[in-house]
Amino acid sequence: MERRALYFAVLVCFGLQSGQAASDAKPVLSSATTAAEADLVDITSLVPDITLDMRYAGADNFVGAPIDGYGAARCLLKSRVARALADVERNLRKRAMRLQVFDCYRPVRAVNRFVEWATDPGDQKTKAQHYPNLDKSELLGDYIAPVSGHSRGATIDLTLKKCDDRGTHCRTLDMGTDFDFFDPRAHTDSTRVSNAQRANRQRLRAAMQAGGFKNYPMEWWHYRFETEPSPETIYDVPIEKRP
C-alpha cells in the first residue's frame, strides 16, 4: 500500500481514540521531501554538544528494531521549536543541568510502523521492558496514536541530567521509569514513584514549561511546543545522515 494511503487507512481504522489523538485530527500531509523544505533544523546546529540518545534510530525501543524513516540518530525540529529548546538547554546549564533527548521530529512512516507493530499480537518480545502490565491492544490511543504530534516537528521526548559544578560529568536523573514505559507509573504526577523521582519529573516540567513546552500527562518525557509553527501539517521527510 502507498505510504499516504496507508496513513489515511490507519486514521479511518482507529479513529480518534484519545485526547492526544483528537488534538491531531484532520492533519494535512506536507509535500515536502527535504528537511529544508519542511523548515526542520538539526538541534546540534544550535547546541553542538547536546546529549542525544535517539532510540528509534537503533533497536533499543519498544518495537525492538530500527524504525522506518530514521536513517540517522539526529534530532530535527521546526526552526522556532529548535530555538526554544536550545534556550531551555542554555538555562539549565546555568544550574548545572542538561537535557538528554530521545526523540524529536518523527516521520509519518515511523508512526505507521508503530501502529503496524501495535496491531500484531504475535510480537511480544518487548513486553517485559515496555508494557509489562498492559495488554498490547491497550497501547493504541493513549500511548500509540495513528497520528503523532511528533510528525509536526514541534514535539520532543527527553529527560534531565545533573552535572558537576564544571558541567563535565553528568548523570541522568532517576525518573522512576525508563522512556517509553507504557504504564500508569509513567504518568507525570504518578504517586506510584518515590518523592525524589516525582521531584525530578517536576524539575523537568518546570524547565520545559518556562521555555514554552507543555507536558503530556501520561508520559513524563513527552513535551509539545505550545505555539506550534504548523499545527495542522504533518511531514514524512526521512531523517537522513548529514550531507
Distance separating alpha carbons of residues 149 and 163, to the nearest angstrom:
31
In a domain, 241, yes or no: no
Q: Which of 44, 104, 95, 86 is nearest to 208 (CA)?
A: 86
In a domain, 25, yes or no: no
In a domain, 19, yes or no: no
* Phi, psi at 57, each rounded to 5°: -80, -10
> How many structural domains compose the chain?
1
In a domain, 28, yes or no: no
CATH number assigned to the domain comprising residue 180:
3.30.1380.10
Q: Over the stretch 132-162, which tens digit does the pLDDT of each residue have?
A: 999 999 999 889 989 999 999 999 999 999 9
Neighbours of 76 (CB within 10 A): 23
Per-residue pLDDT at 196 exceeds 70: yes
In a domain, 24, yes or no: no
| Average pLDDT, rounded, for the chain | 91
Please list the active-site residues: 219
What pTM did the predictor assign? Answer: 0.90
